[in-house]
Amino acid sequence: MTSLRPLSDSYGRIIRDLRISLTDRCNFRCLYCLPETEEAANFYRTRFDSVRNPNPTAPKLPDWKPRSELLTFEEIERLVRLGASLGIEKIRLTGGEPLLRQGIESLISKIVKIPGISDVAMTTNGFLFAPKARQLKEAGLHRISFSLDSLDAANFKKMTGREGLKEVLAGITLARELGMDPVKVNAVVIRGMNDHEIEDLAGFARDRALSFRFIEFMPLDSSRAWLKEMVVPASEILERLKSKFDLKPVVSSNLSETARRWAFADGPGEIGIIAPVTQAFCGHCNRIRLTSDGKIRTCLFSVSEHDLKGAMRGGASDSDLAERLRAIIWQKEDRHHIGEAEFVQPERSMSCIGG
Ligand code: SAM
Ligand code: SF4
């Protein structure tokens, strides 16, 4: 229910999608996000010559924000209400690990009722999902995406830095049993780490009727060890899947969709490939992000952030905030510059930005 002019940037893109990071903390230490383990360090050191001497100034793990710096649920609800009045329709709760935020179900039950918000989703590593699943469903959560990079317990631990495959698989099963539809599952594919599992992961999607997404590894890791050689390009993923499965392209009219999708000719479920590195989709991007400490990011790769928390806590009115948001979005970057000489990796990692 848009009451005001919708939010648009200077390239004519209308913003409809707000991703909210509820916390920068996480119970996992994924190799591509918050690498911490000796195994992760060894992977980076030994597989790729150019990271044998990683940037010594890069922090190993970010400093967690004190709780007083996190937006309260009331502040988040206020911003969602404001966003909805300006044309935001979709909300995704993410992090860090969103299920670490106590009482998340009470936030969900409030934002699903906001007029204009038609879709409330969450991205989670799934470890804490099962005990919370019913409350989340009752609160009105519409959709859920799990992250699952490996079906092999040992490799899962290498990828995530933690034991937990059993819990995540149980979470995915329960989400299907509770009738969440679609249940999406994301895997970040890293050369030499889990690329040998691409076919097994797709087979898992078909067996369990899941919407599975393979994602290219992006330079958003806290160790700043990303190299193009670690990215398995979408074209290679697709070629491998096509040689094993009979795939039919899924045509979508939604231009802002980030995944190219295929259905299995002989079973339920589907696969999608998200290729921000080799096939950027910036021209149709309709997203902005709100960090857990109240900063707006107009692109995953923004090198600057725009504070709304300070304005809110300083007494800004809704119309002040709306004008501020409009001005921020007007400056949204045209595209990212991954792979170009002038590319600068954002200071904060994916766990802080909110994937
Ligand atoms: N902790 C939750 C999870 O892992 O699902 C939510 C936050 S996580 C930052 C959101 C998504 O970002 C996950 O699907 C994760 O795989 C993805 N991600 C994190 N770092 C990434 C990177 N460097 N490149 C590509 N995707 C990444
Ligand atoms: Fe945590 Fe998600 Fe980052 Fe993994 S990808 S470390 S689960 S925030």
pLDDT tens-digit series, residues 235-251: 999 999 999 999 999 98
Does residue 48 have a pLDDT over 80? no
For residues 250-268, give the mean pLDDT: 89
CA 2 / ligand 1 centre spacing (Å): 31
Q: Cβ(354)–Cβ(289) under 8 Å?
A: yes
The helix (run of H) or strand (run of E) holding residue 240 is helix 234-244
| Atom 4 of ligand 1, nearest CA residue | 125
What is the DSSP code (8-state) at residue 6? P
- Amino acid at position 253, single letter: S
Give the mean pLDDT of 168-172.
98
Give the phi and the psi of residue 144 in degrees, each rounded to 5. Answer: -140, 140
Q: Could you give the CA distance from residue 6 to residue 124 in angstroms, rounded to a whole number?
A: 29
Check: CB of residue 267 under 8 Å from CB of residue 204.
no
Give, for ligand 1, the residue of 24, 29, 33 to mutate: max count of ligand atoms closer than 8 Å to Cβ.
Answer: 33
Task: Look up the CATH number of domain 17-353.
Answer: 3.20.20.70
Average pLDDT, the chain: 93
Ligand 1 centroid–CA 317 distance in Å is 34
Q: Does any ligand 2 atom lie closer than 6 A to the CB of residue 351?
A: yes
* 117/325 Cα distance (integer angstroms): 18
Q: Which residue from 36, 215, 223, 338 has its CB within 8 A of the most atoms of ligand 1, so it is best to mutate?
A: 215
Assess whether the C-beta atom of 159 lies below 6 angstroms from ligand 1.
no
The residue-averaged pLDDT of 238-266 equals 92
Does 30 contact ligand 2 (Cβ within 6 A)? yes
For residue 34, the Cα-to-chain-centroid distance in whole angstroms is 14
Spatial distance between the Cα atoms of 229 and 78, rounded to a whole number of angstroms: 43
Q: How confident is the model at residue 51 (pLDDT cuts 50, 70, 90)?
A: low
What digits encode the pLDDT tens for the residues 181-229?
Answer: 899 999 999 999 999 999 999 999 999 999 999 999 999 999 888 999 9
Q: What is the pLDDT of residue 1?
A: 47
Q: Which atom number of ligand 1 is nearest to the Cα of residue 97?
A: 1
Q: Would you say the CB of residue 96 lies under 6 angstroms from ligand 2?
A: yes
C-alpha 228 to ligand 1 mean position (Å): 18
Q: Kindly identify the ligand whose nearest atom is closest to the C-alpha of 94.
A: 1
Closest CA relative to residue 325, chosen from 352, 276, 290:
290
Pocket test for ligand 2, best of 65, 99, 125, 352 (most atoms within 8 A of CB): 125
Q: Is the CB of 126 under 6 A from ligand 1?
A: no
If you count them, how many residues does the chain have?
Answer: 355
**SS3 for 122?**
strand
